Amino acid sequence: MTSLDKQQLLTLCHRPDTLFELFDEIDSTNRWLQTAPGTDIQFCIAESQSQGKGQQGRQWHSPPGQNIYLSCRWPFPKSQDLSGLSLAVSLAVLDVVQPCMPLTPIRIKWPNDIFCMDKKLGGILIELTAAPDTIHAIIGIGINVNMLPGKNVQIDQPWISLQEITKREWDRHILCAGLMNLLPECLNCFEHQGFSAFMKKWQAVDYLSDKAVKIQRGRELFYGTAEGVDPLGRLIIKNNNTLMKFVSGEASIVK
Ligand code: BTN
């Protein structure tokens, strides 16, 4: 198990001015960036998190030295529609991870679950904080890299790691630096062109496409067939010739 090294990460970053903090242990990289000084684009990486946050108020299992826990703070204009942001970010994560296993396709389960072999390989949690003229998006990315099943790993949904898929250990430096190199490109594109610029790419990796699905939104449940997303990244569901669009919710395939 190799620990993350700040100097090695810097060497792999394309932009020498990439601003990031690396912690051995922290409560949550998202939480740290929410209160971090400054307003610049900044990354936070940790070897472990004591209170890693997942979607829907869940905890994100964050043991030391095995996985990636990385957050990025990005300022958007107040007027920006951010509904497709998590989809665009998940495509950037896919671009960084897919080259590790070119023959095993990664899919994205709307809105932002990174799926491989029908199990969760990673997830994204975006939290927003308002500043005077901007909205700061705190984009948190968790990727299961070298974690293997064991009695200390209690995760309440089917999951998989890069090591489990490829049967080899991965150097997290390359993946972390890959994210720090690619995310600015992705976020710049999203800021200037919106989600519509990512539509084509999304269609190629959409896990739910044409599947019978169930969407849970709060206490409400909706059923139908997933028909892709619209140019704002909203999930389209068809039920008895009626189309419904979802900005948020938890989707699952109905078997
Ligand atoms: C999900 O539930 O799918 C979202 C998981 C997001 C986890 C990441 S790990 C880095 C960042 N810091 C957190 O506390 N959560 C996100």
Contact status, residue 92 vs residue 186, Cβ threshold 8 Å:
yes
Supply 97's token pair.
Answer: 């991870």
211 CA → ligand 1 middle, Å: 26
Using the 3D structure, point to which of 203, 221, 239 is the last residue of a domain.
203
Q: Which of 33, 45, 49, 53 to mutate to test the pocket of ligand 1 (most atoms within 8 A of CB)?
A: 53
Q: Which amino acids bring their CB within 6 angstroms of ligand 1? A: 28-30, 49, 52-55, 58, 60, 69-71, 113, 123-125, 140-142
Average pLDDT over residues 182-205: 98
Residue 14 shares a structural domain with residue 93: yes
The mean pLDDT value for 110-134 works out to 94
Ligand 1 centre distance from Cα of residue 101 (Å): 23
If asked whether residues 75 and 195 sit together in one domain, one would say: yes
Same domain, 98 and 212: no
- CATH at residue 113: 3.30.930.10
221 burial type by CB count under 10 A (0-12 exposed, 13-18 middle, 19+ buried): exposed
Beta bridge mates, 108: 114, 206
Same domain, 127 and 193: yes
180 and 130 in a single domain? The answer is yes
For residues 124 and 166, state if they share a domain.
yes
Q: How far is the CA of 52 from the centre of ligand 1 (A)?
A: 6
Average pLDDT over every residue of 52-79:
95
21 strand-pairing partners: 44
Specify if 104 maps to a domain.
yes
The answer to whether the predicted template modeling score (pTM) of the entire model surpasses 0.95 is yes
Please report the pLDDT score of residue 191 as a whole number. 97
Sign of the dihedral through C-alpha 111, 112, 115, 118: negative
Burial class (CB within 10 angstroms; exposed 0-12, middle 13-18, buried 19+) of 24: exposed
Let me know whether 82 and 192 are in one domain.
Answer: yes
By 3-state DSSP, what share of the chain in percent is helix, strand and coil, each rounded to 5? 30, 35, 35
The answer to whether residue 119 is domain-embedded is: yes
235 and 120 assigned to the same domain? no
Query: In ligand 1, which atom is closest to the CA atom of 56?
Result: 2
Q: Which residue has a Cα nearest atom 7 of ligand 1?
A: 142
Residue 183 sits in the same domain as residue 231 = no
218 in the same domain as 187: no
H/E segment holding residue 34: helix 29-35
Contact 255/214 with Cβ under 8 angstroms?
no
Q: How confident is the model at residue 156, as a pLDDT? A: 83
State the amino acid at position 244 in one-letter form. M
How many A from CA of 243 to the centre of ligand 1?
31
The domain containing residue 186 runs over which residues?
Answer: 6-203
Whether 1 maps to a domain, the answer reads no
Per the structure, how many domains does the chain have? 2
State the distance from the centre of ligand 1 to the C-alpha of 30, rounded, in angstroms.
Answer: 8
Last-in-domain residue among 203, 223, 244: 203
Q: Are 117 and 103 in contact (CB under 8 A)?
A: no
The mean of the pLDDT values for the chain is 95
CATH of the domain at 239: 2.30.30.100
The pLDDT, as a whole number, for residue 1 is: 74
Residues 237 and 174 in one domain: no
Q: How many angstroms does the Cα of residue 132 sit away from the middle of ligand 1?
A: 26
Give the range among 29-38, 97-106, 147-156, 203-212 with minimum mean pLDDT: 147-156
CA distance 51 to 48: 9
Atom of ligand 1 nearest to the CA of 55: 2
Give which of 81, 60, 86 is closest to 155, Cα–Cα.
60
The better pLDDT of the pair 75, 133 is held by 75
Handedness of CA 187, 4, 147, 25 (dihedral sign): negative
Query: Per the domain annotation, does 66 fall within a domain?
Result: yes
Provide the pLDDT for residue 38. Answer: 81
Same domain, 56 and 169: yes
58 CA closest ligand 1 atom index:
2
Average pLDDT on 175-187 reads: 98
CB 68 within 8 A of CB 137: no
Q: Are 126 and 88 in contact (CB under 8 A)?
A: no
Question: Is the residue at 231 inside a domain?
Answer: yes
The answer to whether the bond into 111 is cis (omega within 30° of 0) is yes
Distance, CA of 183 to CA of 89 (rounded, Å): 7
